[in-house]
Structure 1
Amino acid sequence: MIGIIGAGAFGTALAVALCGTQQVTLWGRRLRKERQVPQLPGVGIPDAVQLTGSLAAATANRDPLVLALPAQALRGFLSAHGHLLDGRWLVNTAKGIDLETGESPSTLIRSSCPTARIATLTGPSFAADIARGMPTALTLASDESDLETLQRDLSTPVLRIYRSDDLRGAELGGALKNVVAIAAGVAIGAGLGDSARAALITRGFAEMVRLATTLGARPETLAGLSGLGDLVLTSTSDLSRNFRYGHALGAGQTFDSSITVEGAATAQAVSVLAQRRDIAMPIADAVAALAQGHAGVAETMENLMSRPLKEE
């Protein structure tokens, strides 16, 4: 039996995908009686998915628990409810770095749930594709040794899960690619063209590898689904919230503040983290400045293009 905590687009999509092979319980604060989610138009939640607004019911006898919560909401949720979650597999799906503490999701989970076994599920995926049964491949990463059973539990005929023992790398790939996706959106929104977007994606990936490997990740993990794969998807599609947010910034348009954009807060956290480590992250710094309104698009691009010439 799998419990999914968080009935947003991704948590609901996983519930829809997994209910054909598992008993699935989905918890959310505002579940709809009509079994629909606004972020997934045309996708209904099957009757096989048990819906509940009771966190106690959602967590009782459920192992694993999937935490499908926004990165910036995770710490507060764990502080309030970690005692209900401890002692089992906890699978994080958040792609971000906590803005206040600079910590990864797994570190936050470990602080509140010290006896839990922790994994992260990440990679190139849109919730709508998963919910509609489109073929998708994801990475399931953990420092734990017995990952095969969990891998099977989360797989379906069209949801292919690859396992990894590089939890740090998988988490950082998922978080950092959102920052680069915003930069890619800025380039297109500002009318700078596809060549500029390609350059930002490429140099942004170099920044991702630079920071992640300094923090203990393996470079091959960043070159996999959880890094490069997710980067390609979110930097080239209008379905990406981070890309759309960047596009709005580049075009000088207002973006809907009710839409969660993980990369905006992560850019700020990454910029601070990189400065402390003396790691050059000019694209992340630029996105952080744009997100906070500290710089304009023209000024930002000029600063990026006028950096000292060097070898690639």
Structure 2
Amino acid sequence: MKKGLMASIITLSLFVISACSNDTDQIDSFMHIHGLEYSQHDESIFLATHMGLINLNEDSWELVGDPEHQHDFMGYTIIDEDLMISSGHPGARSDYVDPLGVIISHDSGETWEPIALYEEVDFHLLHVNEGNQEFMYGIDVYNSNLYRSNNGGYEWEMVDTTGLPGPVASVLSLTSHPQSPDYLLAGTETGLYESSDGGQTWALKENNLSASSFQTLDSDSEDLVAYLFGEKEGLYLSEDFGETWASLNFKVDDDYIMYISNHPTDDEMLVLGSMKQSIYETKDFGKTWEVLAEEGSRKN
């Protein structure tokens, strides 16, 4: 297994970014990918960053919302239509205090409000189950705890976990089975772990294989895309939720894919975000790829 992935992520998270001007909503670069999702309405992409939420489309990159709602988003996810959920830290012009806990937006990221665990948690990983979006899991890096919600993020319980190889906050990736929300997979630096009881107890599933990111593809299947490292390297598809894997013939050098999103209506479209701030998109499920951003800068 490759070592040092978590250390690399922490190092990147501690970089101090240069000041950004809010005089215009249009930008050509960003720092720190903290999540990316396809829009529910078109082929544009929402990118959660240290400086706010950015909408990427063919014509422009634009910051979303007024400055007081341009937060440092963590664990960002689109739930449905205009509904988004996230965690993180308040922006420089926000009246909110740190950490934000769990926040939601009902208007595609224009405005945000806390709904749970305000001033208590910072979910760097916030996973929403594909089959039942009432079920969510969050990993709080402040106190290294796993949380679970059964009602769409409005109420949470802390899960007492055993069996992981290190602190909960060291988990690199997390996903749940679309038809069985209690069954989880977690990627760690030392292997792939599984839990069948909602994260209470964990067991090693793969000793020589792990994942830096996961994405379930739909609510009715066991299809799972992951960026693997270890005895397999690169982007892979599993049709049985991690039991077997088929390569999608995509690999980044000296980098890792940390975020994967599939388009809500086009099964052929995937977008990937890397640890080094590059974004890749395919419109034919991996046959060809386009680089949308390279190390945080727009590719023309």
**TM-score computed with the length of structure 2 as normaliser:** 0.29
- Higher strand proportion: 2
Larger relative contact order, structure 1 or 2 (CA cutoff 8 Å, min sep 6): 1
- Higher helix proportion: 1
**TM-score computed with the length of structure 1 as normaliser:** 0.28
